[in-house]
């Protein structure tokens, strides 16, 4: 539930027209109040990270995805700065593919004119010793001349890979950026697995698709999987996808047609095996 988001308050009224300092919600005998905060724009904004993992279907040898660098601003809008296609082959490492994506952005005349560049950070190698964070390897953006809340490594793909975008929002300025998953096409049959990491924990669900299903119907299945309630709370709520504890499920998924928004997610990953469907990970614009 939200009272103010992306420059609008409930009812569609612009925040600039309202003198709102706090939001109070009453539910039964409970009351919660929170101060209103506005996302902070800054020059050379932080970036989300694009993570790639090959996941070829049987017989598959080549695949592709498209990166759409975006800039999120604090007036509730975002814009695509440029778009570059990226191909990959069976046997290539994630680092090789991400380096190719970064090179495509850095050599694109449209991206250069927009003032955005890309680099690959991190490593696939696990660290040594105790209390070591898991390895992370991803593509990040830089735009020293631009001003906004966050640069977004938006991406469109279909099959043969798991794609994820993480580091949504800027913790240092308490600026939220809400990830969106948009599906398109007509299902041929397969599965779509969506995994969201929120402050409550990681939760992933896999739904089966059937030939002829619309993208909106598949998106509704994904939302139903995330919003379903199961008892007792300590049981796994969806074993085929690896499971999710009830207490880890934020149930924050909002559906509009074939688009899903995950209000609290700071990482969103998609693995699709249905060749008739494509998906885009981005934010509203």
> Which residues have CB under 8 Å from 204's CB, separation 6+?
193, 194, 195, 196, 238, 241, 242, 244, 269
Q: Write down the residue that tokens 């809008």 correspond to.
A: 77
pLDDT score, position 48: 97
pLDDT-derived band at 185, boundaries 50, 70, 90: very high
pLDDT score, position 240: 41
Each residue of 41-55: pLDDT tens digit? 899 999 999 999 999
Q: Would you state the structure tokens that stand for residue 254, as one six-digit string?
A: 């909002």
Taking CA atoms, 85 is separated from 107, 145, 256, in Å, by 12, 24, 27
- Give the side-chain half-sphere CA count within 13 A for 58: 1
Q: What is the DSSP letter of 242?
A: T
Q: For residue 262, what is the enclosing H or E element? A: strand 259-262
Q: Would you state the structure tokens that stand for residue 19, as one six-digit string?
A: 């003198």
Q: For residue 112, what is the enclosing H or E element? A: helix 109-114
pLDDT score, position 238: 46
Q: Are 224 and 208 in contact (CB under 8 A)?
A: no
- Between 96 and 236, whose confidence is greater? 96
Pairing of strands 150-157, 62-72: antiparallel
pLDDT score, position 215: 98
Each residue of 202-261: pLDDT tens digit? 999 999 999 999 999 999 999 999 988 654 544 444 444 445 777 888 889 999 999 999
Tell me the backbone φ, ψ of residue 160, rounded to 5 degrees.
80, 5
Each residue of 52-70: pLDDT tens digit? 999 999 999 999 999 999 9
pTM: 0.85
Average pLDDT taken over every residue of the chain: 87
- Between 23 and 122, whose confidence is greater? 122
Percent of the chain at pLDDT exceeding 70: 82
pLDDT score, position 275: 97
Sign of the Cα torsion 79, 81, 87, 93 reads negative
Q: Residue 14's Cα: distance from chain center in Å?
A: 25
Query: Three-class SS of residue 171?
Result: helix
Worst-scoring range by mean pLDDT, 9-23, 240-254, 265-279?
9-23
CA distance 191 to 206: 7
Sign of the Cα torsion 146, 37, 11, 20 reads negative
Q: Are 166 and 51 in contact (CB under 8 A)?
A: yes
């Amino acid at each position: 539930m939200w009272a103010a988001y992306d420059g609008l308050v409930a009812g569609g009224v612009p925040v600039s027209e309202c003198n709102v300092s706090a939001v109070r919600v009453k539910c039964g005998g409970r009351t919660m109040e929170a101060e209103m905060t506005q996302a902070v724009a800054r020059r050379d904004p932080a970036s989300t990270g694009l993570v790639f993992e090959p996941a070829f279907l049987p017989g598959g040898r080549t695949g592709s995805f498209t990166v759409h660098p975006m800039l999120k601003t604090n007036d509730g809008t975002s814009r695509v700065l440029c778009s570059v296609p990226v191909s990959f082959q069976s046997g290539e490492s994630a680092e090789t593919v991400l380096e190719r994506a970064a090179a495509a952005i850095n050599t694109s005349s449209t991206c250069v004119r927009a003032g955005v560049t890309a680099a690959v950070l991190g490593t696939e190698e696990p660290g040594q010793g105790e209390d070591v964070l898991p390895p992370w390897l991803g593509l990040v953006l830089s735009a020293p001349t631009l001003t906004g809340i966050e640069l977004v490594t938006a991406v469109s793909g279909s099959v043969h890979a798991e794609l994820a975008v993480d580091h949504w929002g800027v913790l240092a300025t308490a600026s939220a950026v809400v990830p969106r998953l948009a599906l398109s096409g007509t299902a041929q049959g397969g599965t779509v697995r969506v995994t969201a990491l929120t402050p409550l924990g990681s939760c992933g669900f896999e739904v089966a698709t059937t030939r002829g299903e619309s993208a909106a119907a598949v998106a509704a299945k994904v939302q139903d999987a995330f919003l379903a309630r199961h008892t007792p709370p300590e049981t796994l709520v969806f074993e085929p996808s690896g499971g999710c504890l009830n207490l880890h499920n934020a149930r924050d998924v909002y559906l509009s047609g074939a688009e899903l928004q995950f209000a609290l997610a700071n990482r969103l990953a998609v693995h699709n095996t249905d060749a008739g469907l494509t998906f885009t990970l981005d934010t509203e614009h």
